[in-house]
A and B are shown apart, each in its own frame.
Chain A
Amino acid sequence: MLLKLALKRIAGNGWRSVFNILILFLVLMGMLFIQGMYDGWMRTARRQKEEWEIGAGHFEHSNYDKYDSFTFKDSFAKIPDHIQELIRQNEVVPILVFSGVLYPQGRMTPISIKGIPWDQALLKIPSQMLRVKDEYPGSLPTVIGQDMARTNGLSQGDLVSMRFKDARGVFNAYDIEIVKVMATPVSSIDESQVWIDFTVLNSLVALQNSATLFILKDEATQLNLGSNWRYISQKKSLEDVLAMMKADQAGGYVVIALLLFLAMIAIFDTQILAVFKRRKEIGTLIALGMTRRQIIRLFTYEGCLYMVFGTILTAILGLPLFIHLGTKGIPLPQELSNLNVGGFSETMKSYYDPLTILFMLIMVFVLTLFASWLPAAKIARMKATQALRGKV
């Protein structure tokens, strides 16, 4: 009964209702847009890290410290047999890491040399280009990242000398050819790094089938490699990236909070004026025997109905937009990818997590409830006789 009454009154309110619903719609859209963008960004960054660098998790040699190139000469071991089998099935990609020196324009530049099987298909690194057909080609085909190319003034087709010491301490050097500058969004496989074929690197450093890292396609649940290897879960690898994004998202939260505040003002505004305008009506209702609770409920229902209509409007008008943002996304200009921020390199697609959306809806709902309840609670306290006369 009350619901019906509330509905009728919303319909009767005309302008005001339209405005309220419109504002709630805009607020909801804004919140969803911002949150969707952040979630989308986060997912993209996470996916890119996964696709380019860390897989579903990885093992690293226990001596390996990616920040300390001095550890590289002791941080490899022969690939265990059961891993070998997984590599064949493309479940695991081995990577061998060595340190070396590159001489772009004759200036010594320390680098990491990374070997990845040319026929791997797990990581997005364009390893097919690394295939060496002759046994001793004039120059080694290598792939570098855009950042590495930029900082060292290298471009596709360039020949540059690279020197390193093999596992026994013997100097080795090659002219490498940059066969591809990959546009990778993940700077940790780009900066100061040169990628060559896994087998080739193994033979260049006088090793056989040895690796520093194993990138896994699926999370390692039963893989046991012994104490020589350390398992790094995807979650752990992503810690830094996610934390950085969370910091950025804090700014988004402020905007969302302000949006919510606005929505509250809007509802509060409508309700308070409605209450003023309808003092007599309320008095009449009380006089007719409605309890205070019922009055409050009536107004609260009204507020909630705004919310419901706002949500429906958002669903009708917003859905196409959000679906577009979620599937097609917003194309980002090339320059943004130069910033080397994970997730900022391709079309920016929003992502809408059902739980987050639900949480946001509930939050707006509760606030709407509060904003519409507050004025009603106040008015309901007055005496029926006074209300009838229209005095507050």
Chain B
Amino acid sequence: MKKILSILLPILLFAGTICAITAEEILAKVDENMNAGTVKSTARMIVETRRATRTMSSVSYAKGTDTAFTEYTAPAREKGTKMLKIKDDLWLYNPSTDRVIQISGNMLKQSVMGSDLSYEDFMEEIELAEAYIATMLEDKIYDERRCYVLDLMAKTENLAYSRRVIYVDKERMVPLYQELYAKSGKKLKTMRLSKVTKIKGRWYPLQVVFKDELKSGNGTTMIIDEISFDIDIPDHYFTKAVLRK
């Protein structure tokens, strides 16, 4: 019996530590899962407006959370339009005009391609663990998966969203649902992540539905068709020179 106990104890202890995973640790794991050194992805964005449903395709390259480059490939009207984000600056390039245009001011508030996302939202890529203090709430079943529910409060007073609630798949450490709140506590946006697939050893949601909760409509769906992590992306992809290429 003692022998059995001595074998089991470490296991029990280990299990205990698993159970006692802290909110911070979960968040770190989520960040680790969701952010990579470099990411290349091919995606479709489905925008529903009052008149029609439109699908836009794009290829994106990202490095860390600071720099990202997107090129639209379809439909014909948007083909060749490029978007480059470096820290707090955002540039657009459009082949028909051959112009690089910096997006600033009121333009940042506008929706990207008619979606429920604004340019500001595009700028808003952060490491959650770095920006928020997490508290664990009661677990929930979401989308038939057991989830941790984390309440995130902004560490600093200059984050766009001062509070988030995030549901993290316990097994895969992938966020499945996120609510973004205003300082007042009013829910502004929600994200529903689904089609969680294992890619090169990490679980990743291939579909996201963004919804501006104040706006009418059904939100915007983003579907990732192809994604690869930590690949070699030449540095020039993240300079303004890439826009004109």
Interface positions of A (Cβ within 8 A of B): 69-70, 101, 103, 105-108, 110, 161, 163, 165-166, 168-175, 204, 206
Contact partner of B188 (CB less than 8 A), chosen from A69, A166, A173, is A173
Contacts of B162 in A (CB 8 A): 170-171
Give the distance to chain A from B13, nearest Cβ to Cβ, in Å.
42
Tell whether B217 is near chain A: CB-to-CB under 8 Å: yes
Whether B214 and A170, one on each chain, are in contact in the complex, defined by CB atoms closer than 8 angstroms, is no
0 or 1 for each of B214-234: is its CB under 8 Å from A? (1 = yes) = 111100000000000000000
Whether B214 and A163, one on each chain, are in contact in the complex, defined by CB atoms closer than 8 angstroms, is yes
0 or 1 for each of B144-162: is its CB under 8 Å from A? (1 = yes) = 0000000000100111111
Given A106-B215, A168-B157, A169-B158, is A174 in contact with B186 using a C-beta cutoff of 8 Å? Answer: yes
**How far is B184's CA from A204's CA once the two chains are assembled, in angstroms?**
8
**How far is B170's CA from A221's CA once the two chains are assembled, in angstroms?**
69
Residue of A nearest to B107 (CB): A70
Q: Which of B24-67 contact A (CB under 8 A)?
A: none
Tell whether B183 is near chain A: CB-to-CB under 8 Å: yes
Whether B106 and A70, one on each chain, are in contact in the complex, defined by CB atoms closer than 8 angstroms, is yes
Tell whether B109 is near chain A: CB-to-CB under 8 Å: yes
**How far is B186's CA from A175's CA once the two chains are assembled, in angstroms?**
8
Whether A173 and B158, one on each chain, are in contact in the complex, defined by CB atoms closer than 8 angstroms, is no
Whether A161 and B186, one on each chain, are in contact in the complex, defined by CB atoms closer than 8 angstroms, is yes
Whether B217 and A106, one on each chain, are in contact in the complex, defined by CB atoms closer than 8 angstroms, is yes
Whether A163 and B188, one on each chain, are in contact in the complex, defined by CB atoms closer than 8 angstroms, is yes
Given contacts A108-B215, A165-B160, A171-B180, could you give 14 more A-B pairs where the C-beta distance is less than 8 Å?
A101-B109, A107-B215, A107-B216, A110-B106, A161-B214, A163-B182, A168-B158, A170-B157, A170-B162, A173-B214, A174-B182, A174-B184, A175-B186, A204-B184
The B contact surface, by secondary structure, is: loop
Whether A170 and B184, one on each chain, are in contact in the complex, defined by CB atoms closer than 8 angstroms, is no
Given A70-B105, A106-B217, A163-B188, is A171 in contact with B182 using a C-beta cutoff of 8 Å? Answer: yes
Give the distance to chain A from B154, nearest Cβ to Cβ, in Å.
8
Contacts of B159 in A (CB 8 A): 170
Whether A172 and B183, one on each chain, are in contact in the complex, defined by CB atoms closer than 8 angstroms, is yes
Whether B106 and A169, one on each chain, are in contact in the complex, defined by CB atoms closer than 8 angstroms, is no
Residue of B nearest to A169 (CB): B158
Residue of A nearest to B105 (CB): A70
Contacts of B182 in A (CB 8 A): 163, 171-174
**How far is B158's CA from A168's CA once the two chains are assembled, in angstroms?**
5
Given A163-B188, A171-B183, is A103 in contact with B158 using a C-beta cutoff of 8 Å? Answer: no
Contacts of B215 in A (CB 8 A): 103, 106-108
Contacts of A103 in B (CB 8 A): 214-215
**How far is B215's CA from A101's CA once the two chains are assembled, in angstroms?**
11
Contacts of A108 in B (CB 8 A): 111, 215
Residue of A nearest to B212 (CB): A108
**How far is B184's CA from A175's CA once the two chains are assembled, in angstroms?**
10
Contacts of A169 in B (CB 8 A): 158, 160
Contacts of B186 in A (CB 8 A): 161, 172-175
Give the distance to chain A from B214, nearest Cβ to Cβ, in Å.
4
Contacts of B188 in A (CB 8 A): 163, 171, 173
Question: What are 18 A-to-B residue pairs whose CB atoms are below 8 Å?
Answer: A70-B105, A101-B109, A103-B214, A106-B214, A106-B215, A107-B215, A107-B216, A108-B111, A161-B214, A163-B214, A168-B158, A169-B158, A170-B157, A171-B183, A173-B184, A173-B186, A173-B214, A204-B184
**How far is B162's CA from A106's CA once the two chains are assembled, in angstroms?**
23
Residue of A nearest to B108 (CB): A70
The 5 closest A-B pairs by CB, nearest first: A106-B216, A173-B182, A70-B105, A173-B186, A168-B158
Give the distance to chain A from B2, nearest Cβ to Cβ, in Å.
58
**How far is B212's CA from A107's CA once the two chains are assembled, in angstroms?**
11
Q: Which of B177-225 contact A (CB under 8 A)?
A: 180, 182-184, 186, 188, 214-217
Give the distance to chain B from A153, nearest Cβ to Cβ, in Å.
13
0 or 1 for each of B103-117: is its CB under 8 Å from A? (1 = yes) = 001100101000000
Contacts of A172 in B (CB 8 A): 182-184, 186
Residue of B nearest to A71 (CB): B105
Whether A166 and B217, one on each chain, are in contact in the complex, defined by CB atoms closer than 8 angstroms, is no
**How far is B214's CA from A103's CA once the two chains are assembled, in angstroms?**
6
**How far is B214's CA from A175's CA once the two chains are assembled, in angstroms?**
10
Contacts of A163 in B (CB 8 A): 182, 188, 214
Give the distance to chain B from A164, nearest Cβ to Cβ, in Å.
9
Residue of B nearest to A103 (CB): B214
Residue of B nearest to A175 (CB): B186
Contacts of A69 in B (CB 8 A): 106
**How far is B180's CA from A175's CA once the two chains are assembled, in angstroms?**
16
Contacts of B216 in A (CB 8 A): 105-107
Residue of B nearest to A69 (CB): B106
